[in-house]
Structures are given as C-alpha cells and as structure tokens.
C-alpha cells in the first residue's frame, strides 16, 4: 500500500522559511516523478513544483520561482520543498503527489498517489 506523508508545515511570519518533507513508502520512489500542490481556503488545488524521477529536471509555478526549491533524496524515499521568503499568499495546505513516470506533470490529474497534506500558514 502506498503512503505519502507530509511534514514540516507550521506557522511562520512573512519573510520566513519552512522546509516540507514527504516520506514515501509502498512504491518504487526512484521511478516516480513527484510534485507539490497546494490548496488555499476557498480555492482549487494548484500546482507548485515538480521534479523528475532522477531529480535532474525541476518545474515551478511562476509565483514561487526564486523562492521555493524542490528536491528529492531517492536513497531516503523523501521529497522536499524548501520555501524561503514566504508570503501570506503562500498560506495553504500543501500536498505531495507521485506519478509512476520519469517526467512530471504540472497538473494534478495524472498523479496516482497523494498525501494527506500539511498546513502552512504565513502571517503578515
């Protein structure tokens, strides 16, 4: 059974940093493209960042470019999202997702597996 478990969320002031982690089990992590998505209150879930199965290719939505960094450690079956210079508009529940393929999608539909999410709240 596949499990994706996010951690690292919390309350931070604007301009601060957080590092999210997503621990994966029950799947061949190194063969999966991985993504981070987020859902703010009253809004639809949106793409944030994605990484190829090797980690060699990364993709970001425009609003987080230069502030967020996605990475992965295939030896530890873990995905990361380093978030710097956080803004109140980054407040959302953050989800990691897995797709058994090499290159990631930038939309949520193709992802087969999802975590339960971790709350990130950025105060002004």
Give the angle subtended at the CA of 99 by the CAs of 6 and 29, to the nearest 5°. 65
Distance separating alpha carbons of residues 39 and 95, to the nearest angstrom: 8
- Residue 101: what pLDDT? 84
Mean per-residue pLDDT pooled into runs of 10, the chain (124 residues): 97 98 97 97 96 95 98 98 98 97 87 97 96
pLDDT tens string 19-52:
999 999 999 999 999 999 999 999 999 999 999 9
- Residue 104: what pLDDT? 86
19-41 CB burial, b ≥16 within 10 A, e <16:
ebbbbbeebebeebbbbbbbeee
- Residue 109: what pLDDT? 87
Q: Which of 110, 93, 95 is nearest to 32 (CA)?
A: 110
Q: Which of 11, 61, 9 is nearest to 35 (CA)?
A: 61
């Amino acid at each position: 059974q596949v499990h994706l478990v996010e951690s690292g969320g919390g309350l931070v002031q604007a301009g601060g940093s957080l590092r999210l982690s997503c621990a994966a089990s029950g799947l061949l992590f190194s063969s999966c493209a991985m993504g981070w998505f987020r859902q703010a209150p009253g809004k639809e879930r949106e793409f944030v960042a994605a990484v190829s199965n090797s980690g060699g290719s990364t993709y970001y939505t425009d609003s987080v470019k230069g502030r967020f960094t996605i990475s992965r450690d295939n030896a530890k079956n873990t995905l990361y999202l380093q978030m710097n210079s956080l803004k109140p508009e980054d407040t959302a529940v953050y989800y990691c997702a897995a797709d058994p393929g090499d290159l990631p999608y930038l939309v949520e539909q193709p992802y087969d597996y999802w975590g339960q999410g971790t709350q990130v709240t950025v105060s002004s």
